[in-house]
Structure 1
Amino acid sequence: MRHDILYLNAELSPAEQRAVQRRVAAGELLRVRAGIATPLPEAEWPALFRREKARVLAALVPDAVVAFRSAFDGMAGSTVYLAAGYRRVVELPGLRVSISEGPGPVDGDTKIQGRQLYYPSRERMLLDAMAPPPRDNDPAYPRNISAEELEERLISICDSRGEQAFLELRDRVKVVGGLLKTPKTRLEEMDRLMGAILGTRPDRKMATTQGTGRARGYDAPRMDLFHKLVQVLKVEELPRFADVAGTVPATTNFAFLESYFSNFIEGTEFEIGEARAIALEGRISALRPKDSHDIKGVFDQARDPAWRARSITAIKTFEETLRERHALMMAARPEVLPGEFKVTRNVAGNTTFVEPRLAVGTLREAGLLMHDIDAGLPRALLAMFIISEVHPFNDGNGRLARLVMNSELSAAGEARIIVPTLYREQYLDCLRELTRAARTEPYLGAMTNIQRWTAAFSYEDLDVTIDLMTRCNAFEKSLIKHQLLWPDAVDDDRESQPDNAAAPGG
């Protein structure tokens, strides 16, 4: 205890209290109010009381419970709301204490700093947050929490802790509500609100866009992001490149390279010759059979006429088409549940994708946007980003997103896109920029550049194409050591390239 700067009678023995009184009388200490003294000058009292908030509150209102907005905001601000057995407002330098009648500590409330001051359980805090404001609500720091704030907090709890934990919290709220004798109407309203966030009460009117989406089964912030991309795609004049591999054998050769690079992005790495034997000759590696089937799974859909140019908007519904494609692509990996939407959250780095419960609803909402923009590259880029952002399956989402993108391009007679190994980081970075900062420019720039690069090759002779891509550094990994080069800038007689030989974005 720092008795040298703040003296609280509640913390002192009778002898110590008398000693403090003598020092106040002698002018060594200043009396702030009954039971509180300090040697500090009056100008420093507000900062002192804010800093020693827990000590002061425990001394003035023992066994009180932090309540309402103070609990919701973590005791921020210069006003503190407490629940105790009486009503009172105590004005201190830099600190206003508003005491309301209410139950003392119950099971789940915890002591603050081991003192006789309690912080409410999460369940009690939520029930307090739903309480109506009093007549004497402080306009400067109102004790009540808005419907929007409460909804956002509940969604945050659900997303951070998971739906099972949220269900358990919902049950505990009812138990704590009984201990606190919370009005039945408030308990029922909280139950309906939590049910809406879990998607079981779609009829419940919500206060926020995100809450409305949750109640109806889709991710509203993601839909806002998709809408922004659609708005840009409607007005942006993107370059269009005709299909350069529309006939055999170019179609087959392109499908192999598309599969090879698409799998490499996801960490399925093979030597190019071994991958070629897997895709074109069906030689499944005895040591890596599942990885081999990953190569085959993408290759088959990229080559098969039934899938190569199959537009999402022309068949069934968005999510049903994705299920079918995924089931075929991942057939050799039963452990990832081919064709079944995810049941657990998936994360990549700092990005958490759409919650499992919201995946199908988000796909359905987003699928409607596919009709709003032109076929070809605009629709292809939207489809790829939707699938990448929702991440609807346990595995294979990136490969599926690129397959669907390329199918949209082929359906419009436009050049498919290969993302070479050396372009992997630019590709992933532009997706992150769109996901985290809603920046569409890097995404559109990177994808149009790499489509142009892809369309600059001929795919009639696979050996020639592989050799040329090798000299363009397509198979390299290090952006520090290499640049992605244009095929028409590569010269066999030169070991280095001029600065303008580098592909845009490479």
Structure 2
Amino acid sequence: MTTGDESLLLYAELFPAEIRSVQRRVREGTLKRIAPGVVTGLPEEAWPSLIARERIRVLAALYPKAVIGPRSAFYGGAPNEGVMYLSYTYSKRVALPGLTVQLLDGHGPAQGDAPMMGRELYFPSMPRVLLENLTVSRGKFKKSVGQAAVEQRLIETYEARGEEALGALRDQARVLAPTLGLEREFAILDGLIGGVLGTRKSAMLTAAGKALVAAIPHDANRLALFEKLAEELRSVPLKQPAAVAESEQGRLHAAFLESYFSNFIEGTEFGIEEARGFVLEGKPITARPKDSHDLIGVFRQALNPGWANQTLSFGEPVLNQLRDRHADQMKERPEVGPGEFKAQANRAGSIEFVVPRLVRGTLVEGSKLLPTVPPGTARALFAMFLVSEVHPFADGNGRLARLVMNAELSVVDSCRIIVPTLFQEEYLDCLRVLTREGNPKPFLSAMQRIHEWTAAFDYEDLDKVIADMRACNAFEKSRTFHKLLFPAKDLL
């Protein structure tokens, strides 16, 4: 024997003399035969786990040059409901301990298929996986997953890897289809990819696919997320602190601090006194003019009643409204396309926001949920998340989202929200949790807490409110070394 391990002996891996020795021991009863050419020294109760552990070796030995079949390949090469599908030279159903093998009369290895663990068992290329899973599957055992599943996989691929990845898949499938005799399936695949990319009207089966080919295509996954948030906002009563900056001077100071911190979150960092100089005291802007104008743009909309009280529209009017607000906010930054929806996809870390061609439809459909959410804090948080999650412009989205949020608070005479520097990490974290996990609770909890914090200050005296916020650690960056304090109770 070439090895002392007798847990699994495969005739396909042995020399003729070794095979004869193994056969003799099977007749003597010291080894057991699991299947033709598959022998073990383990007791029968251990066979299912052995086959599961050594599945690739066993299948390669029993069915050389087989290719993982459509359904199994679609799920990464694993058995589906205990059945492993293989494309082979004939059709047959074979029972192994703990595993059923469904052989399908099909094409052998083709261009792009890869050997698994260096053995004569092949995993099909992705174009082949998609084409074969669009074949008609009749009978009790479905060899292919069907169009709806393929459609969903294409949408997921597009969202994860973009337009170029789908284009490459289509090009490879076009070349491969005649070899496999799957020209009909390629025509279906071509139509589905065109539907996902928006280059043709296709008959889609999934909710996400239908959203892509709608009159105004939208992001169905984002819309489901907005609906989930709206449900929570309708069912959970939220705190709504009254406005505290009532005088003209108080509103001026509050608008300045709102703009200062809102820009700081986005990386536009100034010292508070420097910012005060050019925003409130008219000092000349001699350095960083673009960043300075970002600060002034948010300040202007936080202070001007026309902008500060402009609630978000719903349906198609929301498009012009957001474009107008963004055009005013970023009018000193022509390079970012003020008032123009983004032409390139944007992202924050691992989160990719709504792709450009779905921006309009997602805003239109998402905003239709606004009237169903109670006015005030609930509607403010929904409006903010809608704009933040779509990220419709090339720049200024975070600041725009917070301006939209605060307008919903101003019209019900509630305190506008300031997100201080020390709260930035928690604020962004709860948005990520809502995006990734669909869990709105941390978001609602965090925003109610910072809403109460904002309302705890007196904005009449700017020097005093800056000093009080500094004492509350509002200007600090590290949550490791600092805690955000409340002036009313923590500084007494």
- The alignment's TM-score, normalised by the length of structure 2, stands at 0.89
The answer as to 2:68 corresponding to 1:60 is no
Give the count of matched residue pairs.
486
State the identity as a percent. 49
Alignment of 1:81-480 (within 5 A): 81-135=85-139, 137-138=140-141, 142-184=142-184, 186-202=185-201, 204-207=203-206, 209-216=207-214, 217-283=217-283, 285-313=285-313, 317-480=317-480
Per-residue CA shift, 1:117-169, capped at 9, x if unaligned?
2111101111121222232x33xxx4331544333322222222212211221
Q: Which amino acid aligns with 1:133?
A: S
Name which of structure 1's ranges 318-327 and 105-114 shifts more when overlaid on structure 2: 318-327
Amino acid at match of 2:63: V
Q: Per the alignment, in what secondary structure is the counterpart of residue 313 of structure 1?
A: coil
Residues 316 and 364 in structure 2, CA contact (< 8 A), matched pair in contact too: no
Aligned residue for 1:504? none
2:8 counterpart of 1:4: no
Q: Do the aligned residues in 2 keep the contact of 1:198 with 1:215 (CA within 8 Å)? A: no
Q: What is the distance in 2 between the residues matched to 1:446 and 1:470?
A: 20
| Per-residue deviation, residues 41-82 of structure 1 (Å, max 9, x unmatched) | 333333222322222222222222111211112232342211
The answer (yes or no) to whether the contact 2:243–2:455 under 8 Å persists in 1 is: yes
1:51 alignment partner, one of 53, 74, 78: 53
Residues 265, 2 of structure 1: CA spacing in aligned structure 2 closer, same or farther, 3 A cutoff? farther
Paired position in structure 2 for 1:39: 41
The answer on whether the counterparts of 2:314 and 2:364 sit within 8 Å (CA) in structure 1 is: no
Q: Does the 8 Å contact 1:243/1:414 carry over to 2?
A: yes
Letter in 2 for 1:465: V
CA distance in structure 1 between the aligned counterparts of 2:489 and 2:117, rounded to whole angstroms: 70
Q: Which moved more, 1:477-486 or 1:54-63?
A: 477-486
Compared CA separation, residues 59 and 423, structure 1 to 2 (3 A): closer
Aligned to 1:79: 83
Contact persistence 1:313–1:371 (CA under 8 A): no
CA distance in 2, matches of 1:201, 1:107: 29
| Alpha-carbon distance in 2 for matches of 1:314, 1:192 | 33
The structural deviation recorded for 1:38 is 2.8
Check conservation: 1:311, 1:407, Cα contact below 8 A. Answer: yes
- The 3-state SS of whatever aligns with 2:248 is coil
Partner SS state of residue 405, structure 1: helix
Of 396-405 and 310-319, the range deviating more from structure 2: 310-319
Distance 1:289 1:421 in 2: 22
Contact 1:318–1:367 at 8 Å: present in 2 too? yes
Could you tell me how far 1:261 is from its partner in structure 2? 0.9
Secondary structure of 1:363's aligned partner: helix
Instruction: Single out whichever of 343-352 and 115-124 deviates more from structure 2.
Output: 343-352
Q: Aligned equivalents of 1:113 and 1:477: distance in 2?
A: 50
Residue 474 of structure 2 aligns with an amino acid whose one-letter code is A
1:470 Cα deviation from its structure 2 partner: 2.7
Relative to structure 1, is the Cα distance of residues 3 and 92 closer, same or farther in structure 2, using a 3 angstrom cutoff?
farther
CA distance in 1, matches of 2:3, 2:54: 10
**RMSD, matched Cα:** 2.8
Q: What is the CA-CA distance between 1:276 and the residue it aligns to?
A: 0.6
Deviations 1:346-366 (A, max 9, x none): 333443332333222211111
> 3-state DSSP class of the match of 1:96?
strand
The 3 A distance-change label for structure 1 pair 275 and 102 is same
TM-score (norm 1): 0.86
User: Aligned partners of 1:414 and 1:26: how far apart in 2?
Assistant: 88
Query: Quick one: distance in 1 between partners of 2:94 and 2:315?
Result: 69
Instruction: Please give the per-residue CA displacement for 1:64-113, whole angstroms capped at 9, x wherever unaligned.
Output: 21112111122323422111222222333333222111111111111112
Summarize deviations over 1:307-334 as a string: whole Å, max 9, x none.
2222222997223222232233334445
